[in-house]
Structure 1
Amino acid sequence: DVCATCHVHATCQQSGGKSVCICNYGFVGNGRTHCQDKDECQIGASKICGNHTLCHNTHGSFYCVCLDGYRASNNNKTFIPNDGTNCTDIDECEESGLCGHNARCVNTEGSYMCYCNDGYKLENGERSFHQDGNIVSCKEIGCGSPPEMKHGYIVGNYSLLPGSAVHYECQEGFYSNEGKFSYCTANETWEPATLSCKGVDCGVPPSVPNARPTSVSGTTYRSEVTYDCAQGHLMAGGSSTAVCNARGHWDGPDLVCKEEELFSNLSIFNETCVRWQRKTGRLGLQETYTFHILGQRLDEKMFSEDVIFNISTSEDNPKVCLDLNSGSNYVVNITTISSTNITVSVTVAIQTKDFITLYADYMHVSTVSILFFCKMFFLLLTWTLTLSKESSGNKCPLERSGKFCFAGLAFWLRQDWYSDISGYVSEFWFMVQYLLVFTFCLEIRFSACRRNALKEAFNNVFIFNDTCLKWRRIVRGTGVEDRYSFHVQGQRWYQKNFFHEMTFELSTHKEAPEVCLNLQPGTNYSINISMVALNFSLLVSMTTQIT
């Protein structure tokens, strides 16, 4: 029987009245001795399964599956194409967030592509990507955070996109020579990448005349320098502190230090007293002053008194009253040593009044007569001087006083106050009294006039500005000129061969004449001032400082 001989994978079928063994579907062979598996997929999946498929052969059969990115139209994973099933594209972009943040999904045939949104890019530089398990993200296009500026800050808003710029400013007290901008380049980097500000430096503190810095905290911003007046000087005003400002310059100081004044506002009071002001800026400092007094009587040509003594005082307004004789010219030199060991000297001329004491006691002879006549004489002489000044200025009233003097003498001679003495005694005392009164009248007439004029010719003589003299002149009235002769001689103790001499005359009608002398420094001078009209001289000593 033929059918009995068919292969296990064959089927016996009748064909033309005969029995025939035919291999089953999926097998090929003679049907009797062999039926081997037929590989349907060998003809091509697209031909047997359709497009976008894969063909999988099985023993005696096959099946089709869709490629990745496709799905079967019957929604089964496998299919046999003879049922009309085909593979259609899967839209992966329907899945939300498939591409991650800052990216968009674009579906393709059988697949999809992820692209970064505008303003973003992939870190690896690719244009598209798949989320295939590796974390891929889109970062913002730009230079990133701008660089920090040490001791600086960003001004205003800025962008991170290429071509943008960031503006910086330095903090107060700092500056930059490298520029104040950083730019975002096409390479998405900042140029320059580093910026910094340097602290200002005001440099060496300013110098202040006659002052020195006592404390310096530094030379950078807000540093301070404190000054103090140098030795021998005192603060006269202004600020003693300099501050380094934000521009790198010192503000201040405007400190004013002036030289200490050991003899300020020197003046004479009560005829024989001297006072002055001491401006040193040092409270309670004990200062020693040396007084050298030279005295000369009004009727003498040479100094007859020479006194030296010291006083020590811490007062700011010292006062010294001198023991001076009446009717004399004095030159008072006051010397002290400054805090800088410089000798400071001032000279002042003082004239004391002349007190005339009348004394007449000629034994027992006509004492009452002479005293009475003297009283009458002074009464007449005083009245004469008064009238003479009113009528003829300040000229010495020689003629008028002479006339009244002899008038007084004639008046006295006519009296009989000496009649109690008889004989030659009477005549003798008459002659004695006559000569005494006559001589006394002449002395009164010339000496009193001369002394009064001398006292007024040089009243309150004092020295100022080291080389200048000033005195009061109230001799003969306002508008009348007087001529003074100056003889100046200067020597130096440290330079034996040095000698400076000059003479000149000064005519003035001022009530308070002033004259400034052209003197050499570091020199001891003696100045003889003569009033030509009165033939009287006054000697003044003066010492100039070494400059």
Structure 2
Amino acid sequence: MGRGPRGTRRSPGCGLQRLLRLVLLLSLARGVSGEPGTEDVDVCATCHEHATCQQKEGKRICICNYGFWGNGRTRCVDKDECQFGATVICGNHTSCHNTPGGFYCICHEGYRATNNNETFIPNDGTFCADIDECEDSGLCRHGGRCVNTPGSFACYCMEGYVAKNGPEPFHPRTDATSCTEIDCGIPPEVPEGYVVGSYSSTLGGQAHYSCKEGFLSVSGDRISRCTALGVWEPPKLHCQEISCGSPPEIQNAILVGNHSSRQGSVAHYDCQEGFESPGGKITSVCTEKGAWSEITYACTAKQTIANISVYNDTCLRWSSLKTADVLEMYLFHIWGQRWYQKAFVQEMVFNTTSSSQDPEICLDLHQGTSYNVSLQALSSALPVVIYLTTQITEPPLPEVDFFTVRGRPLPRFTLRKVKEINGPISSYQVLVLPLSLQSTFSCDSEGMTSFFGNTSPADGYVAAEILASDVPDDTLEISIGDRLYYGEYYNAPLKTGNEYCILLRITSEWNKVRRYSCAVWAEVKDSSLTAQQMVGVGLGSVAFVTILAFFSFSAV
């Protein structure tokens, strides 16, 4: 092997290194001289490991990758996106974490990313939303009520429960507080009072009080309630011993027997000489209200009238307690009124004499009237009062303008109110009958139905029913067959070719008694003509016009 100038021996590797350097110098020289391709190869070979070689404006340059900054060749340093703050980069309720060339975001505890991932980058609109922990129904344990808060939650006790072992609100993971049902225990006592029936000691439960026998509630509410504090409201009932005081005085009577004023005490009375109590013994009782009961009977002069009765609606019969064949004078005071006729008043005052032990009299009374009859014997100090009611009779006949109608149309009918002389008027009915039934129809027939309830077209029907109170200004106009409902009755059109009788019926009703009166309003007769009759009528009309024209011309 050859040696160098100094006689040293060169290794083959040194020659290879020299060759490589020479090639590199030649390459650089070619690049400087402008030979194509030399510059591109050199630049891309010198790019930083975190840079990318890109061509711009005909040249290749090194550019740092996304997330790095620098010259692209000798320096590409990681950008720390999180240095601007987590709220700026990631949004509210987040923490920002830098990575080589990037970053990622994590939601704080109590929040979750809207993309449901643990980490996110907010370039797609993802943000951190509050987690509603209260969706877990048992989170606050038994009796607890969960209230969601931003990023967390708080527990309160529900109505009817109270916090124990800690304050409120509380957190079940960190606090020992628990909710227990409110129990107020046994209701407090009331002097001379007691709890009525059962009670509930939970929140809102009520205990009802009453005073013991012999005591009266003089003030205060009778109810105590279990409060949210777990204690009963203080009872306000005040009971006081009952004392009715002195028994009442009764005219023509004297007090006998027990005079105590305690509850349950009974005061007894006897009538004085010459007086009696027809109803029985007279007593008054000291009640639980602290007052004497009302006296139901009285002491009256001994009555000479007994067993009074009414017959034949207006006649009276009674028994005389006096000796037979002794003449007695009887005084009558009669007062009559009608609830349906406020202005009506009948008053009669007269006397009669009789020596019979069973006198009787028939009174001149009006029908449909309530009477107060006072009957007193001259030998008696007090009258006997009875009440009687006379039955109603048929109302006055309807006032109608009678029509005979041939063909159509029908006239409008005027309904006039009648006076309530014999009893209250309850309603007016318009009846439609076949003309052939007019002579056999009974006004008090109650079997007539509506138009749709007829069993046969030949039967009559009720076309309208109008309450007396619905007739304004004492009159009302009605058109037969107007297809309207009056009450529950349909006013159907009359059939062409049929003959009808229209009646107006008035109903009076009182004390379960019903009376009627009827009047024929109209007779509707058939006026249809045959074809030959129509021709005859037409020719007759032409002849009449011709004659009329002739006479007119002659006159001229």
* Fold shared per TM-score above 0.5: no
> Normalization by structure 2: what TM-score?
0.26
Decide which structure has the larger Cα Rg and report it: 1
